[in-house]
Amino acid sequence: MFTDQEEKFIKYWERNRLTYKKSFKEFVKGFSRGLAISVGIILILVSGWYTRANMEANSKLSTVVFTIALLGIGVFMAWLSQNYKWEQNEQQYLELMAKKRRIELKKQEIKSEEDIIN
């Protein structure tokens, strides 16, 4: 049978599965992860950790293009994170529903066997 947590998840996901992909809250969570990566890139460039990359960035890189690229990383990470989380939840939901169907089929088989015996 199902645990309380699994039952709660099934009810939650049945209500929210269509709106989850469009959730602004999930987008913001992913965007913050993307911006954290962008901050890491900025720190590497500012610290001079990789001298050759720093020289290339200073000589050829436009600040506007660099800023757009960092924002692009943030948006991509937000989209990727949101879709990945949705896929994980959908997979868990489908597995639980398959388990539920198996349990119901076993109950039906047991009931039909009892009817045959009686």
| Confidence (pLDDT) at 114 | 76
Domain total in the chain = 1
Amino acid at 16: N
Cα–Cα distance list, 114 to 1, 82, 118 (Å): 21, 48, 6
Bigger pLDDT: 59 vs 68:
68
Contact criterion met (CB below 8 Å) for 27 and 78:
yes
Q: CA-CA distance, 45 to 11, in Å (whole number)?
A: 47
| Confidence (pLDDT) at 118 | 64
> Does the residue 64 lie in any domain?
yes
| Confidence (pLDDT) at 70 | 92
Bigger pLDDT: 93 vs 58:
93
> Does the residue 94 lie in any domain?
yes
Q: Is the pLDDT of residue 50 over 80?
A: no
> Does the residue 5 lie in any domain?
no
Residues shown for the chain: 118
Q: CA 63, 67, 69, 73 torsion: positive or negative?
A: positive
Instruction: Domain of residue 48: give its range.
Output: 26-117
> Does the residue 33 lie in any domain?
yes
Contact criterion met (CB below 8 Å) for 78 and 34:
yes
Q: Mean pLDDT, the chain, as a whole number?
A: 87
Three-class SS of residue 50? Answer: coil
pLDDT tens track for 68-81 = 999 999 999 999 99
